[in-house]
Chains A and B, each alone.
Chain A
Amino acid sequence: MEIFSTAFLVALVAGALRQTTPLLFTALGGMFNERSGVVNIALEGIINFGALAAAVTVQLVEAPYLAHDPNARIWWIPWLGVLAAIVVGVLVAWIHAVVSIRYRADQIVSGTAVNMLSFGLPSILLLFLYGNTSDSKDVVHRILPMDAYLPFLRDFFSTPLGRILDQSPLVYLAFLLVPLTYYLLFKTPWGLRLRSVGENPEAADSLGINVFWMRYQGVLLSGVLAGLAGAYLSISELNHFTRLMAAGRGFIALAALIFGQWHPLGILGATLLFGFAEAFRILIEGTGILPSPLIQAFPFVLTMLVLAGFIGRARPPAAIGKPYEK
């Protein structure tokens, strides 16, 4: 493919939007817990569990319908998968919340435990359900790109701009969440309370804000969003779950969160940067310009460079990582 041709640019931008989506979901989720003062390194694991839940739920629910009629297409099944991913994401986040808020554990150790759990537990479940330890069965009911839902715009979706915009509804949702979370965090009393427990929990407590409950909400919200990221990976981008599906996205999202200065707009910019880098990497990987392992290392090197170059200027929430003592 010729670089800087229209086709290349369309593929690059469309790919970047797809790669940005899971990072954006996750980083926005991470924003809620970090703003409330809890580090959630378990995001990586929550993505894995969300992806697993979505793929398995869709597969199990659609199986009887497909057995009855192989061409059956039922609109609500993929959305049920998304819901399952959210529920499981919240449950896993709740484990992290209980251990780190109620039992005042080291938040990074607790998050690492959840991540380790997400490396091992899916294998056991997959072996039980599908007889192998690495992949779930392919699902038929995916969340499809927009043109499947808006057939009357099919002509538009074949133009270059249309091909860029022909994305899964979850992509639109991710970008819509940016203004929404901005409003929630900076324009509502709830957002003020959430930020206050992350900056100065003692002061917030003295004003009658329940610090523990606000922190629970922050962490559980991150579970919702990271679960969505998982569902996007397993039943929208792909059609099955594979082991270690998050592939470091949870950690890159954390870096994007720092780079984006814990602010929705900053996070949008940071995740777009990573998304474009990833899309570019995928496009040039087949061309043989550089060995593919070197290209694969690129987003991780970029993350380290970004962190090293930016960290001094970013100011995290003051009480981050510290368990609150009443």
Chain B
Amino acid sequence: MSRLLAPLVSLVFALLLSVSPWFVAKRSFGGRGVLLAPFGVVNPSGARGPLPQLDWLGVAFWGWVALAAAAALVFLLFEGERRARWLYVLGAVGLLAFGLEALLFYRQVDAVNAAALAEGARRPPLKRHSLSLGLYLQLFYALYLLISARTSQPPGRGLLIRYRGVVVPAVSLILAMVAGGVLVWILRPIPGVREGLSTYGYLVGKLDLVTYTFQLLFGPVLSLPGLFQSAVIATPLIFTGLSVAFGFKAGLFNIGAPGQLVMGAVFAMFAGLYLPGPKLLVLPAAIAAAALGGAVWGAIPGWLKARFGAHEVINTIMMNYIAVSVMLLLLSKNEWSFFGRVVHFPFKAPGYEPKSLLIHESARIPMFLQMLGFKGAGPGELSLALPLALLGLLLVYYLGRRIELGRRVLAALGAGVLGYLVGGLLPGIPAHVSADLASVRLNGAFVLALFAVAFYNFYMWRTKFGYELRAVGLAPKAAEYAGVRITSKLVLTMAIAGALAGLAATHYVLGGGIDEYRFKQSIPYTVGFDGIAVALMGQNTPIGVTLAAFLFGVLLTGGLQLNIQLGISRELVTVLESLIVLFIAAGGFLPRYFVEPLLATEALKRLAPPAASEEVR
């Protein structure tokens, strides 16, 4: 299989490389760019100005073709250790060439800019320049060679199977990106294109369009405000992702996260408007109310399943529609008539806008920068309280493996409090907050989300309840036989899953995650559906869910630029998400031992020599 597949990959690589833009010399707003490809400069929009003279591109291209041909030969001719050794060499050469080309490009661009500035230009002519598809392809191809080298022998191949929890989502992500790229290729014209583009120019231009689409989507990782904004969007995704993952672990499919989120928002709004008292009491109570709202909404389908055997999928979907109706009832009008009797809703903000009143100061979650000790944009001091608290908590928890679990958790919490107090007394580190960063609405709900991840990890893998829950998910009959009460387990699981989804509402209502500290009808409850993609992408593990939520947070943040610059709907991210779900469901179209644990064990046994066979994780 890999004997024919790998030369094919090399061929496709070489062909793509010839029509890829390697570098973008400059890019103006709206995606118009001057593209440097191996067989010439492509300038679809006819932009003018000096360009770096990359006359070595042709030579470099033929060098890569030679490398790909050599790799194909290695795959065809050699086996085992010899193949691995040659592939390591070729991969290393590829990585080196990639680095060299990137360096050369940046230096030549700098030279052009310096020359122009010396001649009296007011701004450097090549301001937004970047690497492009050709270079990315080279990097990925070199990595592909190295991975092939590692996996061309049994122990390496076993590694792939053992890390199938990473391999399947990664392959699915790549496939979804390819499909999304094809969609963009078909639907959008080359930015700023004029008449009379040659076939070669057309291909390069289209590939650049696709590349730029993904550069915009992944763009937020390159700046601190972008990362913060991604975290803002990731916060509710972590909650809903955990909610769906919680259900999956027990063999339940919770499509009800949107409705649970809405009910969490309803409860949080009431708590935030009507609970009196100091912040120390009201804020935790409001957060608990959000969890309670979601828990109630989750427990109902759980109970219906336990009591009547009604499938949770249809019922949770119905509960979504009902929750939206409840929201419309509460927020869309100030007065309703029930059979002729007029009821006035005092919590609804007067006027036509569908939103509640602002919640009290005492129920608001502070902004993340405030929690770090900053007061706003400008110079400030980074307080050590929060970092030290986290450090103490994690250190004690992970170093105290010998201590009995209950005491270990208590000790960790104690260390956290101690760290908070000590950090608060210590002088802070001076730092400057830019206006961009200060305008990002990252709030304490993010920290809450991280705690939820810790709770998920702890509950699922460190407690008896979690053990029972996973047992029910893997083999309900066996679990019941072993003494687990399935019915109450179902209700409890759905309630906790609902509570996690309900907590996502704290980000919007109590944390002001979008703009204001109130419950608005525009609350983006569809993040509950995104939670499905997050849970699948994260393979229901705590770290995985967190990373997947961040990935989608980045994509959704970048999606804004997509609409502004290229006129592509932000829904492209939703399409990518649904494709990822589809591909992961199909196991990434990989062999079946990547999907099923039992087959994976067998495959590993076949690969490893009998004496050294290892336990499958």
Contact = CB atoms under 8 A, between A and B. Distances in A.
Interface in B582-606: 582, 584-587, 589, 592
Interface string B213-254: 000000000000000000000000000000000000000010
Contact of B585 (A110, A255, A291, A309): A110
Nearest to B596: A104
Contact of A248 (B317, B526, B592): B317
Given A297-B325, A308-B308, A109 B536 contact: yes
Nearest to A251: B317
Contacts of B333: 291
A289 B582 CA distance: 44
Contacts of B579: 113, 117
A304 interface: yes
Contact of A112 (B329, B581, B589): B581
Nearest to B309: A311
A259 B177 CA distance: 41
A125 B336 CA distance: 39
Nearest to B327: A293
Contact of A288 (B337, B536, B567, B574): B337
B313 A114 contact: no
A105 B338 contact: no
Nearest to A248: B321
A107 B1 CA distance: 29
A103 B309 CA distance: 28
A304 B303 CA distance: 12
A303 B571 contact: no
B255 interface: yes
B149 interface: no
Given A108-B253, A307-B310, A311-B309, A117 B578 contact: yes
A120 B194 CA distance: 31
B575 A124 contact: yes
Given A123-B569, A124-B187, A293-B328, A117 B314 contact: no
B582 A113 contact: yes
B315 interface: yes
Contacts of B339: 289-290
Contacts of A99: 582, 585-586
B307 to A, nearest CB: 8
Given A113-B578, A124-B575, A301-B322, A103 B315 contact: no
B326 interface: yes
B578 A116 contact: yes
Interface in A146-204: none
Interface in A28-44: 41
A52 B384 CA distance: 55
B165 to A, nearest CB: 16
Nearest to A254: B314
Interface string A242-267: 00000010010011000000000000
B93 to A, nearest CB: 37
B304 A293 contact: no
A205 interface: no
A119 B339 CA distance: 36
A233 B314 CA distance: 22
A114 B583 CA distance: 11
Contact of A311 (B188, B308, B321): B308
Given A133-B569, A251-B318, A308-B308, A109 B585 contact: yes
B183 interface: yes
B568 interface: yes
B286 interface: no
Most chain A CB within 10 A, of B309, B339, B572, B582, is at: B582
Ranked nearest first, the 4 interchain pairs of A and B with the lowest CB-CB distance are: A120-B574, A116-B578, A297-B325, A105-B585
27 contacts: A99-B582, A99-B585, A103-B586, A104-B592, A113-B579, A114-B582, A115-B578, A116-B578, A117-B575, A117-B578, A119-B571, A119-B574, A120-B571, A120-B578, A124-B183, A127-B568, A128-B187, A251-B317, A254-B314, A255-B314, A296-B328, A300-B321, A301-B322, A303-B314, A304-B319, A311-B309, A311-B310
Given A291-B337, A293-B328, A303-B318, 4 more contacts: A112-B529, A117-B575, A300-B321, A304-B319
